[in-house]
Amino acid sequence: MDAELTRATWRKSTRSQGSGACVEVAALGGRRIAIRDSENPVGPALVMTAGQWRAFLSRADCLPPCSSI
């Protein structure tokens, strides 16, 4: 898994704000998605299926912006 994450092509999520609090996403084999903190690219990454990613995004749309928490 670590080698797959190292070889992955990472991009900033279109859901990230311009505040520097960004996440990066990468498509992996087996219809999986990896997510990591853009400020810590060598840190841990979350790996989930494409279906889990869609469910996560549908719930994220219901949350208030971080600046209001």
Asked if residue 69 belongs to a domain, the reply is no
Q: Helix, strand, or coil here: 7?
A: helix
- Closest among 20, 18, 57, 59 to 35, alpha carbons compared: 57
In-domain check, residue 36 = yes
What is the model's pLDDT at position 34? 95
The residue segments making up the domain with residue 20 are 2-61
- What tens digit of pLDDT does each residue of 37-52 get? 988 888 999 999 989 9
What is the Cα Rg of the chain in Å? 13
Task: Decide if 26 is inside a domain.
Answer: yes
Asked whether residue 67 is domain-assigned, the answer is no
**Residues 27-45: what's their mean pLDDT?**
91
Q: Is 68 domain-assigned? A: no
What domain count does the chain have?
A: 1
Q: Would residue 66 count as lying in a domain?
A: no
User: What does pTM read for this prediction?
Assistant: 0.72
Which band of pLDDT confidence, cut at 50, 70 and 90, is reported for residue 56?
confident
